[in-house]
Amino acid sequence: MSAHAGATRTPRAPGLPEPGVGSRTRPVAWWGFLSLVVVLSACTPTGDSRQHTTPPPDNAAPSTGASGGGPPCTPSVDALAAPPTGYRLVGKDVAVPDARVLSAQDSGEADPAARLFAKWGLVVRAGTVVDLRVAPGWQDKARLGWGGTGTPAATVTVHACAPEGGQAQWMAFVGGTWVAQAACVPLIVTSNGQDDPVDLGIGVPCDKTTTP
């Protein structure tokens, strides 16, 4: 028997999932994205990226974990040197998919505002805390959630605690966007006191005919 028999290898942290259909690029990095989708499919029900927990007050999804100060750390799935190919910056501290359309499927949620779900990875600069919320007028049409522990909410806070060693500059989180129907969803990202808007095509591309 080989001296290596029975040995186990610690798997490398998976990359982000492919950010939906319609992406303009297909780099080798997509293999990492696809690997994460397979892992998620094995661990969670279809269209569900978090455990069911008691809804937090004021319709806000909490993070979990521990940190030296501020809000708890949000559970991440990868540490990155930079946002991956196929992502765009929103402000200075957040990156979102650059795809024209993020594919959406039935979520199985009872909440009418969360009927469809588009799974995608959020990338946040390490060591920062960001708030993401649906734009005014969309509280009954869309929900958000990342980190695998919260209930879909109109407003979420993501605390990207820096990893040990401080080598990685960005942290990746699994989650996505829920919507009442396919639409171009306007979000607001807040970091360091600055608000930055971003539109995401959930099930349909963003144009003047797809926003309810």
Query: Secondary structure of 72-108 in the HEC alphabet?
Result: CCCCCCEEECCCCCCEEEECCCEEEECCCCECCEECC
β 87-90/60-61 pair status: unpaired
- Tokens read off for 83: 């946002």
Residue 169 near residue 80 (C-beta atoms within 8 A): yes
pLDDT reading at 21 higher than 50:
no
**What DSSP assignment string belongs to 126-161?**
TTEEEEEEEPTT-TTTEEEEESSSS--BSEEEEEEP
pLDDT reading at 97 higher than 60:
yes
3-state secondary structure of 122: strand
β 94-97/78-80 pair status: unpaired
Report d(CA 197, CA 188) in Å as an integer.
4
Estimate to the nearest angstrom the gap between the alpha carbon of 55 and the chain centroid.
Answer: 19
Write out pLDDT tens, residues 118-164. Answer: 999 999 999 999 999 999 999 999 999 999 767 899 999 999 998 88
Which run of H or E residues covers position 42? helix 30-43
Estimate to the nearest angstrom the gap between the alpha carbon of 78 and the chain centroid.
Answer: 12
Cβ–Cβ contacts within 10 Å for residue 128, how many?
18
Report d(CA 102, CA 153) in Å as an integer.
19
User: What's residue 16's pLDDT?
Assistant: 56
Mean pLDDT (the chain, rounded): 75
- Find out if CATH 3.40.50 is the number for domain 30-202: no
Report the pLDDT averaged over residues 69-98.
92
Residue 111: DSSP 8-state: S
Residues 6+ apart with CB under 8 A from 183: 141, 142, 202, 203, 204, 210, 211, 212
pTM: 0.68
pLDDT reading at 188 higher than 70:
yes
Surface-to-core class of residue 155, CB atoms within 10 Å of its CB (0-12 exposed, 13-18 middle, 19+ buried): middle
Residue 164: DSSP 8-state: T
Write out pLDDT tens, residues 40-75. Answer: 333 333 334 333 333 333 343 433 444 455 678 999
User: What's residue 168's pLDDT?
Assistant: 82
